[in-house]
A and B are shown apart, each in its own frame.
Chain A
Amino acid sequence: MAVLIIADHGEGVLRDATHKTVTAATQIGTEIDILVAGKGIDAIAASAAKIAGVRAVLTAESDALGQGLAEAFASLTVPLMAGYDALLVSATAQGKNIAPRIAAKLDVAQISDVIAVVSADTFVHPIYAGNALETVQSSDPKKVLTVRASAFDSAAEGGSAKIRSVDPGPGAPGTKFISDAMVKSDRPELAGAKIVVSGGRALGSAEEFQSAIEPLADKLGAAVGASRAAVDAGYAPNDYQVGQTGKVVAPDLYLAIGISGAIQHLAGMKDSKIIAAINKDPDAPIFAIADYGLVQDYKVAVPEMMKALDALK
C-alpha cells in the first residue's frame, strides 16, 4: 500500500505532527511519501526527508499553496492520488480545511480525527465530542484520513528520502488571499506542547488571565489554553480554546486553573497523560478526572506555585 502524507508545517519548520502522522501511515502501508506544499519550503522538505521510513518527499510551491488555500491543495493532490492508496493529513484546522475537499473529488469518504489504525481499511475515531469511539471499515478504493497526531508517537529521524518537485497545479482561481493575523508567541504551540496551562471563567478578566496564567505557563515552558467560557468572555483569544469545538490536546501535563470542567472542555483534554486541577469549588467536575486536585482559590495557589517551582528548579 502506498500512502501520501501532506506535511504539517508553519513558520518555516516541519511540525512534529508530521512525524506522528508517519507513524500512523506505517500501520497502513510500507511505501510512504510526504508532500510538502507551500512557499519557501526547501528546509521543510529537507527535514521531512530525514524521517525514518519515508520513501520520497514531493515538493510543490506556489503562492496559493503558501497561503494554505484549499482549492490549491485539492487541485495539487487529487491527480497525485492516482499513485496512492491512502492520504493522511494531520487533523489541524488546515488539515480539516483541505482533506474533505480532496476526498469528495476522489469520490471517497473521509475518516476524521483517526486515533488508531486497526488495519489498512479499519480505523477508530471519536464521535459525539469524544463520548464514544467509533470503529469504521472503509469500502472505498482509496482512504482519506485526518489523523489526530496526539494519539500517535513520533516517527524517528534517520531517513534519507529523495526529494523531487511536482507541478503545483492551477492554484485557487476563485479565492483571493487578503491577510493573515497570527498570534505571535514565543510559547510552544498549543496542539503539540508537552505542558499546557489553561485558565477558565474563574479568572474573571483578560488582565487577570494574563497576569495569573501566562507567567505560570512561561515558568513551566508551557503553552496556554483556555476554556470556551473564558474565550467567549473575552479573557483569552479564540485560538487558545481547548475543547470539543476548539483544539484537542494530549500533553504530558494539563494544568487546569479555575476551570469547572464542562463536558465540551473535557472532550478536548481528557487524553492528557497527567491532569492537574486548581479550583476553589470542591465539587467542580474537573476533579472527577484529575490525577491531582488542589481545592483552593487560584489567587492563593498560583503565586505559591510560582514560588514552589522556583524552589524546585
Chain B
Amino acid sequence: MKVLVPVKRAIDYNVKARVKADHTGVDLANVKMSMNPFCEIAVEEAVRQQEKGTVSEVLAVSIGPIQAQDTIRTAMAIGADRGLLLQTDLDPQPLAVAKLLKAIVDEEKPDLVIMGKQAIDGDNNAAGQMLAGLLDWPQATFASKIEISGKTATVTREVDGGLQTIEVTLPAVITVDLRLNEPRYASLPNIMKAKKKPLEVRDAASLSVDMAPRLRVVTVTEPPKREAGVKVADAAELAAKFKAAGLL
C-alpha cells in the first residue's frame, strides 16, 4: 500500500509571526522555517504504519520554494521513502494546493493520503477536505487514531464534544490532529540516510493546474492589543471584581 503525505514548509511554531510594516503580509525574511507540526504528525503516522507492515511506500510531497527540499529531507529522515517537490514561488491557496495534489494522486495512485489538518501559517484547515472532494474519495478529518486493515481504515476523529469513529473505504484522505502521535526526533544516521533518498523536483506550473489565487489579500494587520490590567490582592477581591462586572 502506497501512502502520499503532503508536507508544508511553514514558519517555525516557536516563532511569533510579525506583520509587515506595509501591511501586505507577515514578515518571513530571516525567520526560522520548519515543517508544519501537523505535517510532521502525518509523516510519523505513515512511517509507523509502514513499520507495522500495513504500508509499503511513503511518498512525501511538498509544494513551495526550492528550500522546501529541506522539509522533504526532514520527512525522509523520519522515514519517508521518496520525495517530490512541486516548485513554485507563488504561495498557492488551499484550493490550488488541493488541485496540485490531485494531479499527483492521479499519477502516483496512492491508496491513502495522510496529511495535517491545517498549516499554522494560513490556519485554513481546508486542503485535505478539498482534495477528498476533488477526488470524490471518503475523508476522515482530525484523526486521533488510525487502524488500517485491508481496503479500509478505521479512524477515530476529534469532533465537537468528544470522539467519533468511522470506517472509510480506501482510497481515502485522512487529516491528522495533535494527539495522533508524537513525532520522533530524527537520528543522525537517519538524517544522513535521508540525503541519499530520491527527491524529484518539478516545476509546479508544468502540471497545467489552475493555481490562480481566488482570494486577493487586501491588507494584513496586527490584532488589537490587550493591555495588562490590575493586580488584585486576594481571591475575595477578584470575586468582587466579577460581581462588579455583572458576571455573578
- Report which A residues bind B (CB closer than 8 A): 10, 67-71, 74, 92-94, 96-105, 107-113, 118, 122, 126-140, 172, 174-183, 189, 191, 194-195, 220, 228, 231-232, 238-239, 244-245, 252-253, 263-264, 270, 274-276, 278, 287-296, 300-302, 304-305, 307-309, 311-313
What 4 A-B pairs have minimum CB-CB distances, sorted nearest first? A291-B229, A304-B235, A100-B129, A128-B17
Known: A128-B26, A180-B163. 7 other contacts (CB 8 A): A93-B142, A100-B94, A100-B124, A172-B138, A174-B172, A253-B247, A294-B237
| Cβ contact of A252, chosen from B16, B134, B177, B247, cutoff 8 A | B247
Most chain A beta-carbon neighbours within 10 Å: one of B18, B122, B154, B164:
B164
Q: Are A97 and B129 in contact (CB under 8 A)?
A: yes
Q: Which residue of A lies closest to B218 (CB)?
A: A135
Q: What is the CB-to-nearest-CB distance from B26 to chain A, in angstroms, rounded to a whole number?
A: 5
Q: What is the CB-to-nearest-CB distance from A138 to chain B, in angstroms, rounded to a whole number?
A: 6
Q: Among B50-58, B68-76, B219-227, which stretch is in contact with chain A?
A: B219-227
Q: Among B82-90, B187-195, B196-204, B209-217, which stretch is in contact with chain A?
A: B209-217
Q: Given A101-B133, A135-B220, A292–B26 Cβ distance below 8 Å?
A: no
| A308 to B232 CA separation, bound complex (whole angstroms) | 14
Q: What is the CB-to-nearest-CB distance from B97 to chain A, in angstroms, rounded to a whole number?
A: 11
| A308 to B238 CA separation, bound complex (whole angstroms) | 9
Tell me if B29 is interfacial: C-beta within 8 Å of chain A: no
Residues of B within 8 A of A135 (CB): 217-221
Residues of A within 8 A of B49 (CB): none
Q: Are B133 and A94 in contact (CB under 8 A)?
A: no
B129-170, CB < 8 A from A: 129-134, 137-142, 144, 154, 158-169
| A20 to B163 CA separation, bound complex (whole angstroms) | 25
Q: Which residue of B lies closest to A313 (CB)?
A: B248
Q: What is the CB-to-nearest-CB distance from A226 to chain B, in angstroms, rounded to a whole number?
A: 13
Q: Which residue of A lies closest to B215 (CB)?
A: A136
Q: What is the CB-to-nearest-CB distance from B240 to chain A, in angstroms, rounded to a whole number?
A: 7
Q: Are A296 and B26 in contact (CB under 8 A)?
A: no
Q: What is the CB-to-nearest-CB distance from A178 to chain B, in angstroms, rounded to a whole number?
A: 4
Q: Are A178 and B165 in contact (CB under 8 A)?
A: yes
Q: Given A175-B138, A274-B247, A293-B230, A308–B235 Cβ distance below 8 Å?
A: yes
Residues of B within 8 A of A177 (CB): 164, 166
Q: Are A103 and B95 in contact (CB under 8 A)?
A: yes
Residues of A within 8 A of B137 (CB): 174
Q: What is the CB-to-nearest-CB distance from A137 to chain B, in angstroms, rounded to a whole number?
A: 5
Residues of A within 8 A of B228 (CB): 287-290, 293
Q: Given A122-B218, A140-B214, A294-B231, A276–B226 Cβ distance below 8 Å?
A: no
Q: What is the CB-to-nearest-CB distance from B136 to chain A, in angstroms, rounded to a whole number?
A: 9
| A113 to B160 CA separation, bound complex (whole angstroms) | 16
Q: Which residue of B lies closest to A302 (CB)?
A: B235
Q: Are B124 and A112 in contact (CB under 8 A)?
A: yes
Q: What is the CB-to-nearest-CB distance from B133 to chain A, in angstroms, rounded to a whole number?
A: 4
Residues of B within 8 A of A181 (CB): 162-165
| A136 to B230 CA separation, bound complex (whole angstroms) | 37
Q: Tally inter-chain residue pairs, CB-CB below 8 A.
A: 279
Residues of A within 8 A of B161 (CB): 10, 182-183, 189, 239
Q: Given A100-B126, A132-B17, A178-B166, A292–B214 Cβ distance below 8 Å?
A: no
| Cβ contact of B133, chosen from A104, A293, A294, cutoff 8 A | A104
Q: Are B235 and A292 in contact (CB under 8 A)?
A: no
Q: Are B123 and A128 in contact (CB under 8 A)?
A: yes
Q: Are A136 and B217 in contact (CB under 8 A)?
A: yes
Residues of A within 8 A of B181 (CB): none
Q: Are B141 and A96 in contact (CB under 8 A)?
A: yes
Residues of A within 8 A of B124 (CB): 100, 110, 112
Q: What is the CB-to-nearest-CB distance from A274 to chain B, in angstroms, rounded to a whole number?
A: 6
Q: Are A112 and B123 in contact (CB under 8 A)?
A: yes
Tell me if B243 is interfacial: C-beta within 8 Å of chain A: yes
Residues of B within 8 A of A107 (CB): 95
Residues of B within 8 A of A103 (CB): 95, 126, 130, 133
Q: Given A10-B161, A71-B138, A139-B214, A292–B123 Cβ distance below 8 Å?
A: no
Residues of B within 8 A of A127 (CB): 17, 26, 121-123, 220
Tell me if B59 is interfacial: C-beta within 8 Å of chain A: no
| A97 to B240 CA separation, bound complex (whole angstroms) | 42
Q: What is the CB-to-nearest-CB distance from B141 to chain A, in angstroms, rounded to a whole number?
A: 5
| Cβ contact of B223, chosen from A132, A174, A304, A308, cutoff 8 A | A132
Q: Which residue of B lies closest to A15 (CB)?
A: B160
Q: What is the CB-to-nearest-CB distance from A234 to chain B, in angstroms, rounded to a whole number?
A: 10
Q: What is the CB-to-nearest-CB distance from B44 to chain A, in angstroms, rounded to a whole number?
A: 15
Tell me if B107 is interfacial: C-beta within 8 Å of chain A: no
